[in-house]
Structure 1
Amino acid sequence: MDILDLIKSAFLGLVEGITEWLPISSTGHMILVEEFVKMNVSEEFWNMFLVVIQLGAILSVVVLYFHDLNPFSPSKGAEGRRATWTLWGKIILGCIPAAVIGLPLNDFMDEHFYNGYVVAVALVVYGIAFIIIENWRAHKRSERALGVRMQAPKHGRHFAGAAPVAQPADDDTDFGRITRIEDISWKTAFGIGCFQVLSLVPGTSRSGSTIIGGLLLGTTRSVAAKFTFYLAIPVMFGASLLKVVKFLLGGAAMGANEWGIMIVGLVVAFVTSLLAIRWLTGFVRRHDFKVFGWYRIVLGVLVLAFFLFIGPALGLA
């Protein structure tokens, strides 16, 4: 078993575990990393590995939200179980658009769109989108705060029978019409699923496209991020299973080195994802997504520069 390959696998698992959940495109990072990190494996195994290590990432969601997603939890009554089944129904509904459109186009997209130029453009475009959307949300919050102040009684006096108007908190940055995961309607779940189709283009970011969809459809950042985690379960399990089946049906086999690479990548992606998800859920309660937008723009420019100038000069691209 090649120790160097195991170290490379651990590094790739680290990159996957972080970038899968942050709206910064795991594909954009992987396409750069694979230019420098080469393992002694077949091309077929490499393509499968890049998808299957996502299983480690998705298992972290299952662990963190097992109670919320388990309809058979003994602590849930009949109403709680019904609510959980309803949530799963919305998750499946949200996955249908990507499955219907993505499965037939999977090979085509890999062949024609999986390159540095497409990834770079997608990184920049959706980075700009995050900044525009967050500026729009900030404007809406200012309008709401102004409306509240206009309704508030002057000099602290109230007219008879008039209820005092609550002032918005200064740190009320995570706002939206939909403030709980349970409040997502079937229509909104399907709408967010339609945005997930955008992630078929490499560099878009699956989490980024669904979070943008959630924000535009009225969810808070916390709800958008959480529903994104939930949507990932069937999508990523399905994508990983599809890659494994295609790999095995192609007559390929895995030796001890390949199994070791796969296990190390999965474990590191799982542990890293646990930390990344916990960090993101805390971050979005207090901060907007503009920092990710700027990061995407910078990364997109770097990816484009690499494939246009740096890579050819180094003989890598």
Structure 2
Amino acid sequence: MNTLEAIILAIIEGITEFLPVSSTGHMIIASSFFGIAHEDFTKLFTIVIQLGTILSVVVLYWKRFFQSFDFYYKLLVAFIPAVVLGLLLSDFIDGLLENPITVAISLIIGGALLLKVDEWFGHENGTEISYPTAFKIGLFQCLAMIPGVSRSGASIVGGMTQKLSRTTAAEFSFFLAIPTMLGATVKKSYDYYKAGFVLTSDQVNLLIIGNVVGFVVALIAIKTFIGFLQKHGFKLFGYYRIIFGFIYLSIYLIEIYNKK
């Protein structure tokens, strides 16, 4: 991975992490385009630069983190399903990450569902999140363990099914990203450490660049997304996912055909 590739991947991460379009799917596709998808450092890079996007949430919503301990307890309750399933299905999930067909199909199906989300749940306006609601949102978030299923999209829709407004569901999804992404980063980093993977000075610099770029881009993406969501809902994201999924699936199948 060179500096330009690191910057591009970080921009993609910053834009897509909090949008319902699947950051993992986009990162897999972009790194495959660069021909670096199977490199160990690339896999570590795509996880570690999530720290920058996490920080953007803390900076934008810092006042919310000083309101009450109840806020943290609800995040913990919502985080539990991801911890349990993540540990149980770790190897299976890693296998899915290598499958472009899974990514493409998930993008298309998720897009079709987003076209209907506003019709089904867009009229809700709840703002209070109970413990059962937090846990159910956490269950929805687990769907994002399938590559191509957006973590933010799954958790936002999960919140809307519990009668939360778009904005409230989206903001809770942002907060839930902090323990979820931090946990994934720590686990994956420890796995690489146990495997004897040692970072070079150039790779450390790329991680720093990736986190800084991801942080700045995520700040802009979050503010823009909230405003857009309030005015226009999810349909545009649904159409984008469907089109992008079919294009990627077509390119992949053509490559397979040409190799025969």
8 A Cα contact 1:45 1:247, kept in partner: no
Q: Does 1:207 align with 2:155?
A: no
The offset of 1:44, in angstroms, is: 2.0
- Amino acid corresponding to residue 16 of structure 1 in structure 2: E
The offset of 1:26, in angstroms, is: 0.8
- C-alpha distance in structure 2 between counterparts of 1:113 and 1:48, whole Å: 13
The offset of 1:112, in angstroms, is: 3.8
- C-alpha distance in structure 2 between counterparts of 1:280 and 1:245, whole Å: 33
The offset of 1:28, in angstroms, is: 1.6
Alignment of 1:184-263 (within 5 A): 184-263=129-208
Relative to the length of structure 2, the TM-score reads 0.94
Cα deviation digits, residues 210-265 of structure 1 (max 9, x gap): 01111111111101110000000000000001111111111121111111111111
- C-alpha distance in structure 2 between counterparts of 1:265 and 1:304, whole Å: 28
- C-alpha distance in structure 2 between counterparts of 1:38 and 1:267, whole Å: 24
Cα deviation digits, residues 9-33 of structure 1 (max 9, x gap): 0111000000111100012211211
- Same amino acid, percent of matched pairs: 40
In structure 1, which of residues 69, 75, 98 is the aligned counterpart of residue 65 of structure 2? 69
8 A Cα contact 2:125 2:166, kept in partner: no
Relative to the length of structure 1, the TM-score reads 0.78
Name the CA shift for 1:275/1:209 in 2 (closer, same or farther; >3 Å).
same
* Structure 2: gaps spanning 5 or more residues: none
The offset of 1:34, in angstroms, is: 1.1
In structure 1, which of residues 274, 279, 282 is the aligned counterpart of residue 219 of structure 2? 274
8 A Cα contact 2:121 2:163, kept in partner: no
In structure 2, which of residues 100, 111, 115 is the aligned counterpart of residue 131 of structure 1? 115
- C-alpha distance in structure 2 between counterparts of 1:112 and 1:56, whole Å: 25
The offset of 1:177, in angstroms, is: 4.1
- C-alpha distance in structure 2 between counterparts of 1:103 and 1:131, whole Å: 32
Q: Which residue of 2 aligns with 1:75?
A: none
- C-alpha distance in structure 2 between counterparts of 1:304 and 1:37, whole Å: 17
- Amino acid corresponding to residue 172 of structure 2 in structure 1: F
8 A Cα contact 1:114 1:202, kept in partner: no
Cα deviation digits, residues 276-307 of structure 1 (max 9, x gap): 00111111121111111111111111121121
- C-alpha distance in structure 1 between counterparts of 2:135 and 2:58, whole Å: 22
- C-alpha distance in structure 2 between counterparts of 1:112 and 1:312, whole Å: 18
Q: Does 1:298 align with 2:243?
A: yes
- C-alpha distance in structure 1 between counterparts of 2:183 and 2:59, whole Å: 18
- C-alpha distance in structure 2 between counterparts of 1:108 and 1:56, whole Å: 27
The count of corresponding residues between Structure 1 and Structure 2 is: 260
8 A Cα contact 2:96 2:147, kept in partner: no
Alignment of 1:22-101 (within 5 A): 22-38=19-35, 43-70=39-66, 80=67, 84-101=68-85
- C-alpha distance in structure 1 between counterparts of 2:153 and 2:98, whole Å: 18
Larger Cα-atom Rg: 1
Q: Which residue of 2 aligns with 1:15?
A: 12
Greater helix content: 2
- C-alpha distance in structure 2 between counterparts of 1:118 and 1:102, whole Å: 18
In structure 2, which of residues 117, 120, 124 is the aligned counterpart of residue 176 of structure 1? 124
- Amino acid corresponding to residue 27 of structure 1 in structure 2: T
The offset of 1:114, in angstroms, is: 3.4
- C-alpha distance in structure 2 between counterparts of 1:254 and 1:136, whole Å: 48
8 A Cα contact 1:124 1:300, kept in partner: yes
* Structure 1: gaps spanning 5 or more residues: 71-79, 139-174
Name the CA shift for 1:53/1:314 in 2 (closer, same or farther; >3 Å).
farther
- C-alpha distance in structure 1 between counterparts of 2:204 and 2:134, whole Å: 37
Cα deviation digits, residues 179-232 of structure 1 (max 9, x gap): x3xx11111111111101111101001001101111111111101110000000
